[in-house]
Amino acid sequence: MKMATQVEVLSITSDLFGPPMTIHPVLIWDEAGATLVDAGFPGQFEQLKASVEQAGVAFSRLRRLIVTHQDWDHIGTIPQIKSALGGAIEICAHGDEKPYLEGQLSYIKMTPERAASRLAALSERLRPEAAKALAAIPIFSVDRLLADGETLPWHGGIQIIHTPGHTPGHICLLLPAHRLLIAGDQLRIEDGRLVGPAAEHTPDMQAARHSLQKLLDLPADRIACYHGGVYSSGIPARLAELAAGR
């Protein structure tokens, strides 16, 4: 019998920058292997690996990693993932993120100035570990470019929705068979409320607002937000409010 696709929204907590912060990569798997969506902060490899295995998936079954966008909290462990798997993993991202991920362009947000000011804001106790993590923001090659509107053939179909604004090549993913939208940082949960991308981390808010329009009327009963976790109540009405600027 064919094994049904399973999906788990992972929870990984870090106190690298003081107050604990939880992120939510998504693991999708079936008999043909597993796909991970986003990869945590630098330094979180062991936590991420343990979290995958806790979901009941041997880490060696990972076949591909889909990167929603270039920010350091989404790509931090990719070199360790690659080396743990002997390179046998396909890294997938939107074409507009590729020059950043591969180092032809500098990452948009974690500039040396920004890194220095984040470090300066920390206590002496936290600074050494945080400095190590900031120095380890990786670059790596992208094996497969993803395009808006394409449906990837894995796990019953993964639809790519290009949602620029937070970064140029930010994507959301729709798993129609699971009625799940994986929102990356395009949507967040703040105090129990579904909200759009954080203005202070979103260089092009106008584009990000426009991108919200693309999420209306999708067949989704759950939204996995990288920052906030799973949101499931009154999605169509809340997305309509957000797209209208409320």
Count the site residues for Zn ion by CB under 5 A.
3
Choose one: 58-66, 73-81, 97-105, 147-155; the region binding Zn ion (CB under 5 A): 73-81
Backbone angles phi, psi at 218, to 5 degrees: -85, 150
Identify which of residues 78 and 154 has a Cβ nearer to Zn ion in the complex.
Answer: 78
127 pairs with which residues across the strands?
none
Using CA atoms, how far residue 178 sits from 13, 132, 159, 173, 231, in Å, is 26, 38, 12, 12, 14
Among 8, 38, 73, 96, binds Zn ion (CB under 5 A): 73
* CB 91 to Zn ion: min, Å: 18
Rounded-to-integer distance, Cα 171 and Cα 81, Å: 21
Among 12, 185, 186, 225, binds Zn ion (CB under 5 A): 185
Pairing of strands 193-195, 222-225: unpaired
With a CB cutoff of 8 Å and minimum separation 6, the contacts of 214 are 161, 162, 163, 172
Identify which of residues 73 and 96 has a Cβ nearer to Zn ion in the complex.
Answer: 73
* CB 68 to Zn ion: min, Å: 8
DSSP tag of 149:
T
Gap between the terminal Cα atoms of the chain: 47
Token representation of residue 185: 């940082």
* CB 201 to Zn ion: min, Å: 7
Pairing of strands 62-66, 90-94: parallel
* CB 161 to Zn ion: min, Å: 17
User: In the window 189-218, what residues touch Zn ion (CB under 5 A)?
Assistant: none
Choose one: 89-97, 122-130, 131-139, 180-188; the region binding Zn ion (CB under 5 A): 180-188
Would you count residue 38 as binding Zn ion (CB under 5 A)? Answer: no
Residues near Zn ion (CB under 5 A) are: 71, 73, 185
